């Protein structure tokens, strides 16, 4: 009996996909934040001007994004 207990892995409770799915919306917001650091006012632009680009300029270069 003890052998079966040892060899059978106890399932780790998973978080159901249905619970996770709404959090995908928050994940999309996080991706938007990364977009603003990485690409806004470079290849594409949501906000007119160059203020965002200029403000995060050094981090954009150092984090490996194409900058200008």
Partner 1 sequence: MVRILLMRGMLVGFLAGLLVFGFARMAGEPQVDRAIAIETAIDDARASADLARGIHDAPEPEIVSRSMQRSWGLLTGVMVYSTAFGGLFALVFAFANGRVAIRDPRALSVLLAVAGFVAVALVPALKYPANPPSVGSPETIGSRTLLFAVMLFMSVAAMVGAVAIRRHLLPTRGEWFASLSGAGFYLSCVVVLAVLLPGVNEVPAGFPADLLWRFRLDSLGLQLILWSGLGIGFGALNERLAKRQFFSR
Q: Which is nearer to partner 1, 46 or 59 (CB)?
A: 59
Q: Give the separation between CA 56 and CA 30, rounded to whole angstroms.
A: 16
Q: Give the separation between CA 24 and CA 62, rounded to whole angstroms.
A: 28
Interface residues for partner 1 in 1-60 (CB under 8 A)?
Answer: 9, 11-15, 17, 19-20, 23-24, 26-27, 30-31, 33-34, 36-39, 42-44, 49-51, 54-60
Phi–psi pair at 40, nearest 5 degrees: -60, 135
Phi–psi pair at 44, nearest 5 degrees: -130, 165
- Judged by the rule CB under 8 A, the positions of this chain that interact with partner 1 are 9, 11-15, 17, 19-20, 23-24, 26-27, 30-31, 33-34, 36-39, 42-44, 49-51, 54-68
């Amino acid at each position: 009996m003890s052998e079966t207990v040892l060899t059978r892995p106890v399932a780790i409770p998973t978080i159901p996909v249905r619970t996770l799915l709404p959090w995908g919306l928050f994940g999309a917001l996080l991706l938007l934040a990364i977009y603003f650091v990485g690409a806004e006012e470079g290849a594409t632009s949501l906000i007119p001007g160059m203020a965002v680009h200029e403000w995060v300029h050094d981090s954009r270069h150092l984090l490996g994004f194409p900058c200008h």
